[in-house]
């Protein structure tokens, strides 16, 4: 029998256990799934980085650690974690991110806020540009970024994507030079991983490269933004609006200046959430593959940090 430890906060167990059990049964796997197993008996760990488990040394039999989160920056540097680490690539998470990004790009592109918040009787006949005339920079072309970039391209936007490694995506102009993606962009979407190389990617120099009045969306990671630089760009009008879903400190403190800036929209880290029903399918597929002698999916590259 395969021994699977569920190492996450207690409320997650109630949400995940029925789906995981059903998926293991459907895959024909004989599994003991538990929140408490002797470390030397564990074959797989289903893991959330905010769980109490931080020392992996006793888990000598463990074949893989299967992350419940897309982000691994808080665990990838754990020196006791020597087992293979797989990040979560959940189709529902991808769909949720595409919906959030597409919705907010269209909101800013169409100038919806001006009409939604206008006093009764206000008549504003100025029409927005068409998508063909708007350059959108999507920074980060992993699973989520690629899906968002292609969704925006299908709507007709002039989409420019950035990734460290060369990429080819239908309808998207891909760059390995990040500044080329920023140049005269009307909107910037941040979907890079959080690594030492990506922190403060959105700094004053790059904000100066975008089209005046551009909008910024950050559903990626809080440290991607130099917050002081973004606030200064908002104050000067170089950036017209920022819609932010992730922050360096969460929940965002009540005295943070983002709360009080008229051109900032805050959403509480909801752009993309792991859905237990769909994430369970991903986890069970990986266990089934490895038990059948196939390679694990979504392995983290420790050198890159994602």
Q: What are the residue numbers of the active site?
A: 221, 269
Please work out, in degrees rounded to the nearest 5, the angle formed at the alpha carbon of residue 219 by the alpha carbons of 150 and 80: 110
In degrees and rounded to multiples of 5, residue 242 shows phi and psi of -125, 130
Give 126's DSSP letter.
P
3-state DSSP call for residue 284? helix
Q: Give the whole-angstrom CA distance, residue 2 versus residue 225.
A: 43
Alpha helices in 27-136 (DSSP H): 91-110, 112-116
Q: Which strands form 187-190's sheet, in the order they lie side by side?
A: 172-175, 158-162, 135-139, 187-190, 214-218, 239-244, 264-266
Token couple for 300: 């983290």
Token couple for 1: 């029998």
The closest alpha carbon to 193, from 107, 101, 280, 303, belongs to 303
């Amino acid at each position: 029998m395969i021994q699977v430890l569920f190492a996450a906060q207690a409320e997650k167990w109630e949400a995940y256990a029925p789906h995981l059990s059903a998926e293991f049964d459907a895959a024909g796997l004989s599994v003991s799934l538990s929140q408490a197993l002797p470390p030397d008996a564990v074959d797989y760990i289903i893991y959330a980085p905010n769980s109490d488990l931080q020392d992996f040394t006793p888990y000598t039999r463990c074949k893989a650690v299967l992350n419940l989160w897309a982000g691994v920056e808080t665990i990838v540097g754990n020196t006791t974690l020597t087992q293979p680490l797989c990040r979560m690539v959940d189709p529902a998470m991808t769909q949720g991110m595409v919906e959030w990004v597409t919705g907010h790009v269209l909101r800013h592109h169409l100038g919806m806020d001006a009409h939604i918040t206008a006093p009764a009787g206000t008549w504003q006949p100025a029409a927005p540009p068409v998508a063909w005339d708007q350059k959108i920079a999507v920074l980060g072309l992993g699973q989520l970024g690629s899906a968002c970039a292609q969704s925006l391209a299908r709507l007709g936007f002039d989409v420019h994507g950035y990734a460290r490694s060369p990429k080819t995506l239908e309808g998207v102009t891909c760059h390995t030079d990040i500044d080329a993606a920023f140049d005269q962009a009307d909107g910037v979407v941040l979907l890079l991983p959080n690594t030492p190389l990506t922190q403060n990617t959105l700094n004053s120099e790059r904000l100066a490269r975008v089209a005046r009045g551009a909008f910024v969306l950050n559903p990626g990671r809080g440290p991607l933004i130099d917050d002081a630089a973004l606030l200064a760009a908002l104050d000067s009008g170089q950036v017209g609006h920022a819609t932010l879903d992730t922050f360096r400190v969460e929940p965002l403190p009540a005295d943070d200046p983002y709360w009080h800036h008229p051109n900032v929209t805050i959403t509480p880290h909801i752009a993309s959430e792991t859905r237990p029903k769909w994430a369970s399918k991903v986890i069970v597929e990986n266990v089934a593959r490895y038990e059948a002698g196939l390679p694990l999916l979504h392995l983290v590259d420790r050198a890159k940090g994602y």
